[in-house]
A and B are shown apart, each in its own frame.
Chain A
Amino acid sequence: MALLDDYESPAGFCEVFDADEPRREYAALVARLQSLDGADLEERAAIVDDTFRNLGITFAVYGADEGIERTWPMDLVPRIIAAEEWRTIEAGLIQRVRALNAFLEDLYVGERTAFRDEIIPPWLVTSAEGFVRGAHGIDVVGGVRCVVSGIDIVRDGAGTYRVLEDNLRVPSGISYVLENRAAMRRAFPVVFSQYAVRGVDDYGTVLLRALRDLAPRGVADPTVVVLTPGVYNSAYFEHTFLARSMGVELVEGRDLVVDDHKLYMHTTRGLRQIHVVYRRIDDDFLDPVAFDRNSMLGVPGLMSAVAAGTVTLANAVGNGAADDKGVYPFVPAFIRHYLGEEPILDNVDTYLLWEDEQRADVLGRLDELVVKPVAEAGGTGIVIGPQATGAELDEVRRQVEADPRGFIAQEVVQLSTHPTYVEGGLNPRHLDLRPFVVAGRTIDVVPGGLTRVALPEGSLIVNSSKGGGSKDTWVLES
């Protein structure tokens, strides 16, 4: 019996089948899968696992036993996105990043037109955890604050793409996009060659070009580095990957020193000035003089160099004011306000719990909605109403009433499903997509992005720290 004969899509949108028939872009893949059996897949899964292990492509799991390294969980069945569908997504992402960037410029160095024109209440923005008062008045080269953005999108029951979340600080995952591609080429050379898939391998070039675009004025040949918290960070693999693919140094705070408002690194040939830092450290830890004085990761005086304009930080400090979940519901309004355009990609329907009317409505039907804490990441603290117990809902109600600004509520999005190799066969699992947007002088979107899969049956939580897997994502040429 062929692998997909028994396959049944659950409620919601199925990425591969439309009423039992494979969608056009999936036809060749489905035919190929049908010619394989479980043993073939098992064999290919072993090839992938072996490749990842030998190359040390693993991630550390926080909270798990020390020293536990898991290999990156990539599913064998790729996700395919048709060319015209991608064009819409791409345009929507570029539009969104432009608007978010305009909002941040307006907020930190502009006239604050968003407040003046009552697009968003000022208190909501300044109470965002990622709002940085100290970033006020610090110019950013070219006004590009969101250099690398990861915008999470999902597909609702009708198959419409919607934005679930913006990540404008230090979004990670791009290295896995590229490693997935390399592994797929090894595991499924035949299928891969049947499709004209848009390449992702030039990411290092694209990113380096953007970072060099943003060097302080007058620096013709800037020195660019990647700043990592160090080898114990769960995304360390990605940091080394980025440094490698750009051919730049991967530095830690202890390699750096600021003197006379300039940033330097210690090299075997003495101190060398740095002009652009792609930092993978949160704002709080960047500079113990300006922010958290207990931080051992940062560089004392770094913000003074940034303020003096001798070094560019990417992403800029204070972006957390725009990707806060409490600010998220206003992004469509930002698009209208700053760009004068209608949003190409919609938000998921979201309710503001600090508005009395909406809160009352939400509390009346908690069991139908999703409640998310605004300050958490990685799927932590999310309560999905239809799957929660009465006690859990009571607890959420108590928390929301105590701190309405601390939460948002959304309609449950029945994420789309995709055949995934689990439990020895192909079974439907829910997924989302994190495309990466890179802005320098121009804005580029990496074709595809990281497709994350919730591996437990029925689960809607795709984060890798919560047992999520991933899929290679193929955007077709035409």
Chain B
Amino acid sequence: MLSRHAEILFWVGRYLQRASQTGQLLSITSMSQIERHASTDPWRELLEVLYLDHTFLEQREEITPDGVIEFLVLDRTNAGSVASSMIAARDGLRNVRDLVPLDLLEAVNLGHRAIEATTPDQLARHPALFFDQLGIQAQRVAGVIHDSMVRSDGYRFLVVGRYLERAEMTLRTIEVNRRAAGSDVQAWVRVLRSVSGLHAFLRSRSALGSADDIVRFLLAGADAPCCVHFGLDRCEEELTLAFAGTPHASALRALGRVRATIEYGDVPSVMDPALGDFIEEAEEGIRTVSDRLRDDLFAAPSIDLHSYEVM
């Protein structure tokens, strides 16, 4: 496929994932507020997970639940909001609309229209209802991708974008919770829920897991889609297929390195500051994969552009 289209689909995957995961994080955070076992400042932590705490405080004076929700969902000046992510995904898809199934265009347009039709007022009154809807829209998008996309390179780059975004977000969630909650198991259970991983954890480990067990699961688990290791495995599979028979290898090498660290590395305990370093290294590794991918896809052609004859 065209290199340009590959890059667009990669980013569409990232934006779609960002939109759905931001919604999921918001949903869990507002639910934990209601359940009254929140840590002291879940909304600030949420902003930190998304690297948006500074941006938020540049624009608004104080952190309030409604303010954060509106900022993260509807605020188009915030490039990381659900609305902005959906717009970016939709704009990207406009460039490649011939390459994806109509069902996918329709699902993304529906999601986008639902957000456009929501007022800050409605959002503040029924956040849970809105997040439920957002979740359904996201599942619909994921379902269409899985169900009707041809397994060609376009699908592969889209999926790689989704999993890389998801891995990055999970790493951030772990890091912020490590600093805020330490070994508080309840807080880690909330993290599991926020990445749709509680059920998987309970089935594959046990209800008696410690904070360390949860963190190791989220990082090195190989059998659940919420785990960083699982996501990187999938990326490796897809990129191997997409780059078969080409000289492109630098993204795959970078991916192998970060995957090996997570799969085979010793994950430090949550109370050990070394866990912070471990996560930082993994985040850096994933950023490198993204950069290498761009280099691979847009490598300058080895062609002498000065050899034209004018007709």
Question: A78 near B: Cβ within 8 Å?
Answer: no
- Asked if A300 lies at the interface with its beta carbon under 8 angstroms from chain B, I say yes
Which of A231, A258, A267, A304 is within 8 Å of B3, CB to CB?
Answer: A267
Tell me, in angstroms, the Cα distance from A304 to B310 when the chains sit together. 7
A244 contact set on B, CB distance < 8 A: 97-99
A259 to chain B: closest residue by CB: B303
Tell which of B98, B246, B308, B309 touches A243, judged by Cβ atoms closer than 8 Å: B98
Q: Is A134 an interface residue (CB 8 A)?
A: yes
Across the interface, which residues of B come within 8 angstroms of A54, CB to CB? 106, 109-110, 113
A269 & B98 in contact (Cβ 8 Å cutoff): no
CB distance from A272 to the nearest CB of B (A): 9
8 interchain pairs, CB-CB under 8 A: A231-B94, A243-B98, A244-B99, A251-B2, A260-B307, A266-B2, A269-B246, A290-B311
Cα distance, A476 to B229, chains bound together (Å) = 60
Known pairs A56-B94, A268-B157, A269-B246 / 17 extra A-B pairs, C-beta < 8 Å: A53-B113, A236-B94, A240-B96, A240-B98, A250-B96, A250-B98, A255-B3, A259-B303, A266-B2, A266-B301, A268-B3, A268-B243, A268-B297, A269-B245, A270-B246, A304-B309, A304-B310
Residue numbers in A under 8 Å from B307 (CB-CB) = 259-260
B243: chain A residues at CB < 8 Å are 268-269
Q: Does A435 contact B (CB under 8 A)?
A: no
- What 8 A-B pairs are tightest by C-beta distance, nearest first? A244-B98, A243-B98, A240-B97, A301-B308, A240-B98, A259-B303, A266-B3, A307-B311
Contact with B along A205-247 (1 / 0, CB 8 A): 0000000000000000000000000010000110011111000
Q: Does A336 contact B (CB under 8 A)?
A: no
**Shortest Cβ distance from residue A263 to the other chain B in the assembled complex, whole angstroms:** 12
Looking at the assembled complex, report how far the CB atom of B91 sits from the nearest CB atom of chain A, in whole angstroms.
Answer: 8
Task: Tell me which residues across on chain A come within 8 A of B305, comparing CB atoms.
Answer: 257, 300
Among B2, B243, B247, the most chain A Cβ lie within 10 Å of the Cβ of B2
Most A CB within 10 A of own CB, among B105, B245, B308? B308
Give CA–CA (A131, B106) in the complex, Å: 43
Q: Which residue of A lies closest to B298 (CB)?
A: A266
Q: Is B64 an interface residue (CB 8 A)?
A: no
| Residues of chain A within 8 A of B110, CB atoms compared | 54
Asked if B4 is at the interface (CB within 8 A of a chain A CB), the reply is yes
In the complex, chain B residues whose CB is within 8 Å of the CB of A259: 303-304, 307
Chain A residues within 8 Å of B, Cβ to Cβ: 53-56, 134, 231, 236-237, 240-244, 249-252, 254-255, 257-261, 264-271, 289-290, 300-301, 303-304, 307
Q: Which residues of chain B have C-beta atoms less than 8 A from A249's C-beta?
A: 1-2, 5
Nearest residue (CB) in A for B243 is A268
**With A54-B110, A259-B303, A307-B311 given, is the CB distance from A267 to B98 under 8 Å?**
no
CA distance A269 to B242 in the complex (A): 8
Contact yes or no, B1 A289, CB < 8 A:
no
Q: B287 within 8 Å of A by Cβ?
A: no
Nearest CB in chain B: distance from A59 CB, A? 12
Residues of chain A lying within 8 A (CB to CB) of residue B3: 255, 266-268
Whole-angstrom distance between the alpha carbons of A269 and B106 in the complex?
A: 30
Whether B105 and A268, one on each chain, are in contact in the complex, defined by CB atoms closer than 8 angstroms, is no
Q: Tell me which of A53, A134, A237, A255 contacts B4 (CB under 8 A).
A: A255
Instruction: Give the residues in chain B near A243, CB-CB below 8 Å.
Output: 98
For residue B8, give the distance in angstroms from its CB to the closest CB of chain A.
10
Q: Does B28 contact A (CB under 8 A)?
A: no
Q: Contact check: which of A254, A268, A307 meets B242 at CB < 8 Å?
A: A268
Query: Which A residues lie within 8 Å of B157 (CB)?
Result: 268
B4 to A266, Cβ gap below 8 A? yes
Give Cα distance in the complex from A265 to B153, angstroms.
16
Tell me if B257 is interfacial: C-beta within 8 Å of chain A: no
Asked if B311 contacts A254 (CB within 8 A), the reply is no
At the interface, yes or no: B95 with Cβ under 8 Å from chain A?
A: yes
Which residues from B are CB-within-8-Å of A303?
Answer: 311
In the complex, A55→B310 CA distance in Å?
A: 43
B94 neighbours in A (Cβ, 8 Å): 56, 231, 236, 240
Chain B 282-304, CB-CB to A under 8 Å as 1, else 0, gives: 00000000000000010001011
Pick from B106, B109, B308: contact of A304, CB below 8 A: B308
B98 neighbours in A (Cβ, 8 Å) = 240-244, 250
Across the two chains, which residue of chain B brings its CB closest to A58?
B94
Q: Can you name the residue of chain B whose Cβ is closest to the Cβ of A243?
A: B98
Q: For residue A50, give the distance in angstroms from its CB to the closest CB of chain B.
A: 10
A231-B102 CB under 8 A given contacts A134-B311, A269-B246, A290-B311? no
A264 to B305, CA, bound (A): 13
Which residue of chain B is the closest to A246 with respect to CB atoms?
Answer: B98
Chain B residues with CB below 8 A from A304, complex form: 308-311
Tell me, in angstroms, the Cα distance from A93 to B3 when the chains sit together.
41
- A267 contacts across to B, CB distance below 8 A: 1-3
Query: Chain A residue with minimal CB distance to B244?
Result: A269
Taking A56-B94, A244-B98, A265-B2 as contacts, is the C-beta distance between A290 and B310 under 8 angstroms? yes
Do residues B308 and A300 form an inter-chain contact, with CB atoms below 8 A? yes
- Contact partner, A268, options B1, B301, B311, Cβ 8 Å: B1
Asked if A55 and B102 sit within 8 Å, CB to CB, the answer is: yes
Please report the C-alpha to C-alpha distance between residue A290 and residue B310 in the assembled complex, in whole angstroms: 7
| Complex Cα gap A385–B107 (Å) | 50
Closest to B113 in A: A53
Q: Which of B79-133 contact A (CB under 8 A)?
A: 90, 94-99, 102, 105-106, 109-110, 113
Interface string of B1-40 (1 = CB under 8 A from A): 1111110000000000000000000000000000000000
Q: With A and B bound together, what is the CA distance between A209 and B6 in angstroms? A: 27
